[in-house]
């Protein structure tokens, strides 16, 4: 699915993120499974990840991220009129994470909805927020993306336990009084036949007639996801640029889902984008699913690389299989 060039009347105006204190290093993993720091760094680029405490869940991380957003935004969030929470790892099926966030901040005028588009969830949530604001139905939407992947990771499976980490990010999407349009182009796509990457907590005991393994934990075919993502995202980038009538040189920052550094390198190579113009969170945080893009944006802000007015191409992809890419202007004021 593709949209015409810039019909957007929305922009991102604030960012906040949070990761739990506890760190799980590659050396820690060497003590759990038959792996090595060398293998993990060489195949994934990951050095460490943050892990939630036993009594810390996705809504707690999202609330912390939104608190940090409120600090830098410098104003209350009372007039938020919709909360969209992206997560694959909610505390409960219900009440939803977005309802827990609403309760904490007492946003009395806000609707609340959770969304699960796996690791592409943040990009999907931004797409929805842009659409709701551009239609005139909403004026200020809080998007939170949070994950406690450690709680669904099997720490006896070396092919998955080295990958995942926990964290959350929050952005504010607001109506743009100048109607200049912060969102320039979007692409969405799905390959539902690619269900080779399963987290089994739903009600079904089997999928398409096949019994499922790993109740309550992630099971994946990493190599297949890798190949699909490199092919799909590089083609999506081409389409996004074409739609927006832009060239690679117009892009200040490429922010793909941070699943694996080697995967990011392969996407850049195939899409002909310089790695130096990439923001990622995978090295220090692992794969944090839908939280990985806001965490990478935060890394860009903290290091002074991502600046007000920069053009960002962000791209989420993950289980489903599903993907979403967006071209947008970064409208968050620089911290002085």
Cβ atoms of 232 and 166 within 8 Å: the answer is: no
**What residues between 48 and 87 interact with ligand UT7 by CB under 6 A?**
none
**What per-residue string of b and e applies to 154-178 under the rule 16 or more CB within 10 Å gives b?**
beebeebbbbbbbbbbbbbbbbbee
| Torsion sign over Cα 68, 73, 77, 83 | negative
Residue 6 engages ligand UT7 in binding (rule: CB under 6 A): no
- Minimum CB–partner distance for residue 51 and ligand UT7 (Å): 17
Contacting range for ligand UT7; rule: CB under 6 A; set: 143-151, 157-165, 179-187, 308-316: 157-165
Residues in region 161-200 near ligand UT7 by CB under 6 A:
162, 197
Query: What's the burial of 55, exposed, middle or buried (CB within 10 Å: 0-12/13-18/19+)?
Result: exposed
Q: Which lies closer to ligand UT7 via its Cβ, residue 17 or residue 287?
A: 287
Please state the separation of Cα 92 from the chain's center in Å.
20
Neighbouring C-alpha atoms within 13 Å toward the C-beta of 140? 13
Find the shortest distance in angstroms from Cβ 262 to ligand UT7. Answer: 7
Q: Which is nearer to ligand UT7, 158 or 248 (CB)?
A: 158
- Asked whether the beta carbons of 187 and 193 are under 8 A apart, the reply is no
Name the 3-class secondary structure at 325.
strand
Residues 6+ positions from 111 with CB-CB distance below 8 Å: 81, 82, 83
Binding status of residue 155 toward ligand UT7 by CB under 6 A: no
Least spacing, CB of residue 159 vs ligand UT7, in Å: 4
Report, in Å, the least distance between residue 137 CB and ligand UT7.
Answer: 32
Nearer to ligand UT7, 43 or 305 (CB): 43
121 backbone dihedrals φ, ψ, rounded to 5°: -60, -40
Q: How far is the CB of 186 from ligand UT7 (least distance, A)?
A: 20
Of the pair 39, 104, the CB lying nearest ligand UT7 is at 39
| β-pairing verdict for 311-318 and 322-329 | antiparallel
| Strand pairing report for 197-199 and 218-220 | antiparallel
Q: Identify the H or E element spanning 237.
A: helix 222-244
| Contacts of ligand UT7 in 208-227 (CB under 6 A) | 220, 222-223, 225-226
φ, ψ (nearest 5 deg) of residue 197:
-145, 95
Q: Minimum CB separation from ligand UT7 for residue 195, in Å?
A: 12
Which residue in the set 318, 320, 326, 329 belongs to the binding site for ligand UT7 (CB under 6 A)?
318
Judged by beta carbon, residue 104 or residue 226, the one nearer ligand UT7 is: 226
Residue nearest ligand UT7, Cβ-based:
222
Choices 155-163, 199-207, 272-280, 306-314 (CB under 6 A): range interacting with ligand UT7:
155-163
**For ligand UT7, which is the closer residue by CB, 164 or 183?**
164
Catalytic residues, by residue number, are 119, 257, 287
Contact pattern for ligand UT7 over residues 220 through 259, marking x by CB under 6 A: x-xx-xx--------------------------------x
Nearest by Cα to 166 from 71, 43, 263, 290: 290
Q: Which parts of this chain interact with ligand UT7 (CB under 6 A)?
A: 35, 39, 43-44, 119, 158-159, 162, 197, 220, 222-223, 225-226, 259-260, 263, 287, 318
């Amino acid at each position: 699915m593709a949209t015409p060039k810039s019909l957007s009347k929305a922009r991102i105006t604030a960012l906040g993120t949070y990761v739990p204190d506890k760190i799980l290093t590659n050396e820690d993993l060497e003590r759990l499974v038959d792996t090595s720091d060398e293998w993990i760094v060489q195949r994934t680029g990951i050095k460490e990840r943050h892990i939630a405490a036993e009594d810390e869940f996705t809504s707690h991380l999202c609330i912390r991220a939104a608190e940090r957003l409120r600090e830098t935004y410098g104003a209350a969030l009372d007039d938020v009129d919709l909360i969209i929470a992206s997560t694959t790892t909610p505390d409960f099926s219900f009440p939803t994470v977005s309802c827990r966030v609403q309760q904490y901040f007492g946003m009395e005028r806000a609707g609340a909805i959770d969304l699960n588009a796996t690791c592409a969830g943040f990009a999907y949530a931004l797409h929805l927020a842009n659409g709701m604001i551009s239609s005139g139905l909403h004026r200020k939407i809080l998007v939170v993306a949070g994950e406690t992947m450690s709680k669904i990771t099997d720490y006896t499976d070396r092919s998955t336990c080295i990958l995942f980490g926990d964290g959350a990010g929050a952005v504010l999407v607001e109506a743009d009084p100048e109607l200049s349009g912060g969102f320039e182009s979007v692409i969405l796509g799905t390959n539902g036949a690619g269900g080779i990457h399963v987290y089994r907590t739903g009600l079904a005991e089997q999928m398409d007639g096949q019994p499922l393994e790993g109740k309550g934990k992630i099971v994946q075919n990493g190599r297949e996801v890798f190949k699909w993502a490199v092919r799909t995202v590089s083609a999506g980038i081409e389409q996004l640029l074409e739609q927006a009538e832009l060239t690679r040189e117009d892009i200040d920052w490429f922010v793909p889902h941070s699943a694996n550094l080697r995967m990011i390198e392969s996407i850049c190579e195939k899409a002909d984008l310089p790695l130096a113009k990439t923001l990622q969170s995978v090295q220090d945080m692992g794969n944090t699913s839908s939280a990985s893009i806001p965490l990478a944006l935060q890394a860009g802000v903290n290091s002074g690389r991502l600046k007000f007015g920069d053009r960002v191409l962000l791209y989420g992809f993950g289980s489903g299989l599903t993907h979403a890419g967006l071209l947008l202007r970064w409208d968050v004021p620089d911290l002085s």
